[in-house]
A and B are shown apart, each in its own frame.
Chain A
């Protein structure tokens, strides 16, 4: 666990007996200072994976290990407004994280200013718009400078300037050693992340895109891409368009396909 902030091994999750598996045998290690984006279609289990990473939900099977004393910040996809003003809510959370009053006030002011949310602090949360609630939830998760940040669709309802600011904040935090995991459908958010994984049918896989994995073929060895069976034709086409030579395609598990490919300039 030296450079690893958090690790999942063989994690499976279902919500109750007779319910389908939401996650199946997920293995994941997240390094300190890294930013990981989890992508995937609706209902793929992204929020469940993030809740398990955050420790908000226990896995049905498997192990979640965290570095010792890891302070954690969690931003849910939707924050149901608690019965506070935004300012009171954030001050309560600053106290929960053992921040001194001045320290808490300072962090709240700084983050609210950067995310253009100062005017929200005096308002009751029940009256805030979806985007404003999203800003309050983001500030809440960042309080106390946690060393592991889990954010569920953090950019979803934010305006463009706030998206850029939040991306910059995440980048700054990662540079100081914070491990960040977020999920987002937006393609542009991949620029924030330095690693991207795709969750499909409960399995976590590397995305089959040359842009995300191109660095891995430096030694000329074939790179393995695992994709869902239904998306394999599309992904093979995308790889060829991106300058890859397909070496081999074979079945991977019940629903997957493994594609082995090398860069065209390195292929024999």
Chain B
């Protein structure tokens, strides 16, 4: 699994298809933290919500950058299950990297209103992972070979991102609202439900995606 993920990440890195979504992420995080005072949890909640969109694009570009024939070579030589696990592991690595970057920039660059506590840093990382995980899982459902048309993929993902907001199903506003507090101790109660539902969604979406990748090949 790690060898397949390593190969896929190396191919993705060399393809430079990460450049556009990565730049969106960097520019977005820089803009969010450009206007002080940047209260620690509140601003981090907004950045995590933005991460959902950026990570969704990043994950789609990762999953769709591999040519079909190269993917079929891996499926043949490594097995369909290992390929699916490798793709999921690659996605997880990207989600972790994007989450750390979204947390690391304001912390290292001193953009927070005050130095965050360890508990706050931990909660911000969890919030970033929740949104990055949701974005990755959504992308996985509509990536090749589950959906072959890029136009259909873009339309479907955009529709999901937009429609879930007024329906109250999007983790982005839920995360931003949960972190709109100055007291980290309140976060288990405020954020626990979102963490649970996003974890369930990620698990189900990952399982369904892996099946779709195999059966739609």
Contacts and interface: CB of A to CB of B under 8 A. Distances in A.
Interface of A: 51, 54-58, 72-84, 92-93, 95-98, 140-141, 146, 150
B77 interface: yes
A96 B10 contact: no
Contact of A140 (B15, B16, B73, B214): B73
Contacts of A93: 73, 77
B76 A150 contact: yes
Nearest to B65: A83
A84 B65 CA distance: 13
Given A58-B215, A84-B11, A97 B69 contact: no
B74 A96 contact: yes
Interface in B73-88: 73-80
A51 B69 CA distance: 10
13 contacts: A54-B75, A54-B76, A55-B76, A56-B72, A58-B80, A58-B214, A81-B67, A82-B70, A83-B14, A96-B74, A96-B78, A140-B73, A141-B73
Contacts of A72: 76-77
A interface: dominant SS: loop
Given A58-B217, A92-B7, A92-B10, A76 B69 contact: yes
Contacts of A81: 67
A74 B10 contact: no
Query: Which 7 residue pairs of A and B lie closest in terms of their CB atoms, listed nearest first?
Result: A80-B67, A74-B76, A83-B14, A56-B72, A54-B76, A83-B15, A76-B69
A97 B73 CA distance: 12
Contacts of A84: 10-11, 14
Contacts of B205: none
B72 A57 contact: yes
B72 A74 contact: yes
A74 B11 contact: no
Interface in B82-119: none
